[in-house]
């Protein structure tokens, strides 16, 4: 059982050039590994601008199948070379379907599996339902060389059901690659990185687990829409305290040592999982709060 892990979350800017983005991401992974990182998380859909700002048929051409993918194999080789675990976000095409997906690459380069984003947002500046089918894989936890890694993707991070499911599946810590920033002028909801962080800090508290989230930075224009991504990538400990954080413009790898043995001890003592009453949670299996029995 893994006792300690050095985690890195990467915060970076993104352009509209695949090779530029992939090379930059690789450089950040190498830098993190030089600092001792064993698990390195890159932002959501780092391969290009966040094209979901607008609805355009042309952007479906950015999707590729896992087999023969233009950069997954490159990161498998990188993971093998550096001995690091890489949860890797990408735009997946599978037959006639398209997914916002993530593969987990183990430290020997092995592809452990594929996760398709469960919760798909739909709103001004975040038009993901136009591009992505709802994920059909269920939540995934992967046994890696450096612990059992549970990963949700961006909009998943707002849902306590995601975090709890990943922990029940045996995750040692939770990771969330993200692309989030300013809202278009007509949107009434606040532009607040604090809400974003607090939601995940709550997952850390209620599951007594470490949480790491990474975001992109910079201003991107897609079509006639411009958004500025607010960074603030962070790592929270198993009490919910933020123990490492970037600002709005910093680029690089943010590292922290995770004491998984201490987290397990603390989690058991808190009793959150001991005192659960799943037989009473029927409303969670409905959309309207009414428990229906067949």
10 Å Cβ neighbour count for 64?
Answer: 17
How far is the C-alpha of 78 from the C-alpha of 202, rounded, in Å?
A: 33
Of these residues, 117, 127, 214, 245, which one is catalytic? 117
How far is the C-alpha of 192 from the C-alpha of 201, rounded, in Å?
A: 15
β-pair partners for 151: 175
Of these residues, 6, 44, 47, 92, which one is catalytic? 44
Of these residues, 128, 154, 214, 220, which one is catalytic? 154
> Active site includes 52?
no
The token duo for 53 is: 């700002």
Alpha helices, DSSP H, located in the chain: 18-34, 72-82, 128-131, 160-168, 193-207, 260-270
Q: Which long-range contacts (CB under 8 A, 24 or more apart) does 33-37 make?
A: 33/82, 33/83, 33/84, 35/6, 35/8, 35/253, 35/255, 36/6, 36/255, 37/6, 37/7, 37/8, 37/84, 37/253, 37/255
- Answer yes or no: are the C-beta atoms of 182 and 228 closer than 8 Å: yes
Beta strand segments in the chain, E = 4-13, 39-41, 86-94, 97-105, 111-116, 141-144, 147-151, 173-177, 210-214, 216-222, 225-230, 234-236, 242-245, 252-259
> Active site includes 44?
yes
> Active site includes 154?
yes
Catalytic residues: 44, 117, 154
């Amino acid at each position: 059982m893994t006792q300690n892990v050095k985690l890195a979350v990467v915060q970076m800017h993104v352009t509209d050039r695949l090779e530029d983005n992939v090379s930059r991401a690789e450089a950040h992974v190498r830098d993190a590994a030089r600092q001792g990182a064993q698990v390195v998380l890159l932002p959501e859909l780092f391969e290009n601008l966040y094209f979901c700002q607008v609805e355009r048929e042309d952007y479906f051409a950015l999707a590729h199948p896992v087999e023969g993918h233009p950069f997954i194999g490159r990161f498998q080789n990188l993971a093998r070379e550096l001995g690091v675990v890489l949860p890797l976000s990408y735009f997946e095409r599978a037959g006639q379907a398209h997914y916002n997906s993530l593969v987990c690459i183990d430290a020997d380069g092995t592809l452990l599996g594929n996760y398709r984003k469960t919760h798909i947002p739909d709103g001004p500046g975040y038009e993901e339902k136009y591009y992505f089918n709802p994920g059909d894989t269920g939540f995934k936890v992967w046994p890696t060389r450096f612990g059992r890694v549970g990963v949700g993707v961006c909009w998943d991070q707002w849902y306590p059901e995601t975090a709890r499911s990943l922990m029940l599946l045996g995750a040692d810590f939770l990771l969330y690659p993200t692309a989030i920033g300013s809202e278009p002028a007509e949107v009434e909801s606040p532009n607040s990185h604090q809400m974003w962080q607090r939601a995940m800090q709550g997952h850390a508290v209620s599951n007594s687990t470490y949480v790491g989230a990474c975001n992109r930075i910079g201003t991107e224009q897609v079509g006639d829409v411009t958004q500025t991504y607010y960074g603030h990538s962070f790592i929270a400990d198993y009490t919910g305290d933020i123990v490492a954080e970037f600002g709005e413009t910093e680029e690089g790898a943010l590292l922290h040592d995770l004491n998984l043995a201490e987290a397990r001890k603390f989690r058991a003592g808190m009793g959150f999982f001991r005192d659960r009453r799943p037989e009473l949670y029927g409303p969670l299996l409905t959309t309207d709060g009414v428990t229906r029995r067949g």
